[in-house]
Amino acid sequence: MKILQVSKKFPIPSLDGETIAIIEMGKALIDEGCEVSLLTMNTTRHYKNFTLDQIKELHHYKEIATVVVDNDIKIINAFTNLFSDQSYHISRFISTEFETKLIELLKANQYDIVQLETLYLAPYVDAIKKHSEALVVMRAHNIEHEIWDRISNQIRFLPKKWYLSYLSKKLKNFEVNKLNDYDFLVAITDRDLKKFKSLGYKNGCISTPVGFDYNQYKPDYSSYDQPLKLSFIGSLDWIPNIEGLNWFFEEIWPQMHQKFPTLEFHFTGRNAPSTLRNINIDNVFYHEDQACAQKFINQFSVLIVPLLAGSGIRIKILEAMALGKVVITTSIGLEGIPATHRENILIADNAAEFIEAIHFCQIHQKDMKAFGERAQKFISTYFNRKKLTQNLIKAYQTAITDYHIH
């Protein structure tokens, strides 16, 4: 099976959920005998100044093509978009140069599948269908408008709340109107798949979460022999992460610090705003961008994911569990992950529940390693990359046959 994987984000370094999902999918398909090439944007907001020869992590791809795309948020464009039906979220990823490169690859190769990574590549569906007989697959990492609905619901400043709500409505219109343009849909959770169907999706589909080759994840359980410390890792230019951390610092940490005065909180993430980079709160420490996410996570026994908005699945939770860590997250953070409270994960939705979770860790400190081991076993059972990929390929083979018959 010959596959072209199309991404809006250059997937190196693979430190955030989206890039991990892209890289893991590419590797998994190749491990199962597929030939996979990658076409990726190198956007100005996440620009990577690497030559392809330097990027050893991408050696598994048959071919790699990149196009620089200017997706910076521009005030004038954002303002004029207010008077347009077009989604500003989507328009920032529309590029003539990118489409030209895509068409060039389609003409030079006979792909069985063109797999679009996220809704933001949907504007290129027409070009794919015009220049290729490949099955067009949308791999939906999230229900995109749902994220922005939830973000706008958390905003108190009314002008900003109105603006984000307006953008969310236009994004929803685009997402719903595009649904049946895809030949096949890969949702990242069962919940998301049901949601897409309720929005009107009717074509072939499957839910496939991000799979992990858990042999590549080496837990460092020595962190459990140290005093309890909390950690966070995630893209700090993604609004749900910023809002979640601000909520944690404003509503939870003051009470937590008063209850546990020696407890430390360490966090990292790329493109952090100055308010987070220069944070001045007792026992809170910001670390500059880390070259290796696993190394950072392994230093601490507990990872927190204080999300109030989001969709899809939180890959950093899965990665931390694969590394045998105790994860404390909100109910929204846990969506799509069938873990069990106090068995292999801890759920906390307010300050009192976060404090209760820390207290639980302290009084069961001798058992925390076993807790982490159960978390790792959970990942190996429910997010086994090989098994998930084999099921996906079978679904692809059936979909390709049906597509060409009809």
Residue 197 has pLDDT above 90, yes or no: yes
Give 381-396 pLDDT, tens digit per residue: 999 999 999 999 999 9
Give 242-297 pLDDT, tens digit per residue: 999 999 999 999 999 999 999 999 999 888 889 999 999 999 999 987 778 889 99
Instruction: Assess whether 256 and 369 both reside in one domain.
Output: yes
Instruction: Assess whether 362 and 391 both reside in one domain.
Output: no
What band does 106 get if pLDDT is binned at 50, 70 and 90? very high
Helix (H, G, I), strand (E, B) or coil at 67: strand
Are residues 225 and 320 in contact, defined by beta-carbon separation less than 8 angstroms? no
**CATH number of 188's domain:** 3.40.50.2000
- Answer with the residue of higher pLDDT: 201 or 72: 201
Residue 78 has pLDDT above 80, yes or no: no
In Å, how far are 295, 307, 320 from 290, measured between CA atoms? Answer: 8, 21, 15
Q: How far apart are CA 220 and CA 226, in angstroms?
A: 12
Residues with Cβ within 8 Å of 215's Cβ and at least 6 positions away in sequence, in order, are none
Which segments of 323-384 does DSSP mark as H helices, in order?
331-334, 351-363, 368-382
Q: How far apart are CA 396 and CA 5, in angstroms?
A: 14
pLDDT at res. 7: 97
Instruction: Assess whether 265 and 143 both reside in one domain.
Output: no
Are residues 362 and 371 in contact, defined by beta-carbon separation less than 8 angstroms? no
Are residues 210 and 188 in contact, defined by beta-carbon separation less than 8 angstroms? yes
Residue 378 has pLDDT above 80, yes or no: yes
Q: Which of 349, 339, 344, 284 is nearest to 313 (CA)?
A: 339
Give 310-335 pLDDT, tens digit per residue: 677 888 999 999 999 999 999 999 98
Instruction: Assess whether 109 and 160 both reside in one domain.
Output: yes
State how many domains the chain has.
2
Instruction: Assess whether 93 and 189 both reside in one domain.
Output: yes
Q: Which domain holds residue 347?
A: 215-382
Instruction: Assess whether 75 and 171 both reside in one domain.
Output: yes
Helix axis angle for 17-31 and 385-405, nearest 10°, is 70
Quick one: DSSP state of residue 250? I
- pTM across the whole model: 0.84
Instruction: Assess whether 130 and 274 both reside in one domain.
Output: no
Q: What is the mean pLDDT of residues 175-190?
A: 95
Instruction: Assess whether 376 and 388 both reside in one domain.
Output: no
Instruction: Assess whether 32 and 147 both reside in one domain.
Output: yes
Q: How far apart are CA 400 and CA 210, in angstroms?
A: 22
Are residues 188 and 141 in contact, defined by beta-carbon separation less than 8 angstroms? yes
Q: How far apart are CA 148 and CA 169, in angstroms?
A: 9
Are residues 180 and 273 in contact, defined by beta-carbon separation less than 8 angstroms? no
Instruction: Assess whether 164 and 36 both reside in one domain.
Output: yes
Token look-up 């207010």 returns 82
Instruction: Assess whether 41 and 127 both reside in one domain.
Output: yes
Instruction: Assess whether 8 and 119 both reside in one domain.
Output: yes
